[in-house]
């Protein structure tokens, strides 16, 4: 039997490896791609896999449903940060975005959500966020320089949220654990480094990519909420991962079609 301490180290190492892999891939592409990768369930995917091993499927489904219900708060956080980035420095942007998240998430957590209602709320919030983001401008994407210090901050933030959620899953109500899981750590850390280093336009592109990546995040949790009662946990999780990968591509297809028609 693996000791609890060793199991915790394995869990956190899995999360750190996921974040590190996403960061190294993002270094080769622009801000929009970096944001899209951060918006995918790169951190929460391994956490959910671990929770499915440790907890009953019903408990994990409750956490997934609460996370899906808090998705509008995460998207509000990103939109507020993007608009604030055009006028303020990153500490002010972060405080405004976190305040918006806490205010909305605390209200959403008090509602007894059905799976259908949470799904519709998340999808509606995604569509609204895409429409209310500031204009991305015409700055071409280019490889993003990620200093070693920023990489360590990303890893530290990912490990912090992972440890908090793992603890919360065992000690806090499902609604609170879901709100922790929806807390936009990557959506907070990345723009705080991008704004002073690359400016407001690059930050908006980063956060626009993050919102598009959230389509995969939402698809992941929709699949979990609907499939966990029907399938074995491993099968439901695999289907959720497939949905997370497919959703951003499907969202991008109409935009590509519009660009082709315009030309």
Question: With pLDDT > 70 as the criterion, what percentage of the chain qualifies?
Answer: 77
Per the structure, how many domains does the chain have? 1
261 has pLDDT over 50: no
Output the DSSP codes for 127-168. Answer: HHHHHHSPP--SPPP-PPP--HHHHHHHHHHHHHHHHHHHHH
Q: What angle do CA 74, 69, 39 make, to 5 degrees?
A: 35
- For the chain, helix, strand, coil in percent to 5 are 80, 0, 20
Q: How confident is the model at residue 258 (pLDDT cuts 50, 70, 90)?
A: very low
Least trusted range by pLDDT, from 36-45, 95-104, 191-200: 36-45
User: What single-letter DSSP state applies at residue 228?
Assistant: T
- Is residue 2 scored above 50 in pLDDT? no
Between residues 132 and 6, the one the model is more confident about: 132
pTM score, whole prediction: 0.80
| Biggest distance spanned by C-alpha atoms of the chain | 62
At a CB cut-off of 8 Å and minimum separation 6, what does 90 contact?
Answer: 191, 192, 195, 196
Could you tell me the two tokens for 37? Answer: 């990768």
Residue-range definition of the domain harbouring residue 176: 4-262
Distance CA 211, CA 195 (A): 17
How many CB atoms sit inside 10 A of residue 11's CB?
A: 20
Query: What separation in angstroms does the CA of 36 have from each of 108, 185, 204, 226, 237?
Result: 25, 14, 12, 24, 21
> Nearest CA to 85 among 180, 5, 204, 173?
204
Residues 225-240: pLDDT tens digits? 999 999 999 999 999 9
């Amino acid at each position: 039997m693996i000791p609890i301490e060793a199991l915790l180290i394995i869990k956190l190492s899995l999360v750190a490896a996921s974040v590190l892999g996403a960061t190294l891939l993002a270094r080769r592409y622009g801000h929009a791609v970096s944001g899209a990768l951060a918006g995918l369930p790169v951190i929460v995917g391994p956490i959910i896999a671990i929770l499915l091993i440790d907890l009953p499927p019903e408990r994990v489904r409750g956490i997934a449903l609460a996370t899906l219900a808090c998705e509008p708060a995460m998207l509000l956080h990103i939109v507020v940060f993007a608009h604030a980035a055009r006028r303020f420095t990153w500490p002010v942007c972060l405080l405004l975005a976190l305040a918006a998240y806490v205010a909305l998430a605390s209200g959403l957590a008090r509602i007894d959500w059905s799976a259908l209602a949470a799904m519709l709320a998340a999808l509606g919030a995604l569509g609204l966020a895409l429409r209310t983001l500031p204009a991305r401008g015409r700055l071409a994407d280019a490889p993003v320089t990620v200093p070693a210090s920023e990489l360590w901050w990303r890893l530290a933030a990912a490990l912090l949220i992972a440890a908090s959620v793992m603890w919360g899953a065992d000690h806090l109500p499902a609604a609170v654990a879901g709100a922790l899981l929806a807390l936009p750590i990557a959506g907070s850390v990345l723009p705080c480094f991008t704004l002073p280093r690359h400016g407001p336009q690059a930050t908006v592109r980063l956060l626009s990519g993050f919102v598009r990546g959230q389509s995969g995040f939402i698809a992941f949790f929709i699949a979990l909420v609907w499939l966990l009662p029907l399938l074995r946990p491993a099968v439901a999780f695999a289907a959720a991962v497939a949905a997370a990968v497919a959703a951003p591509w499907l969202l991008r297809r109409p935009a590509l079609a519009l660009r082709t028609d315009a030309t």
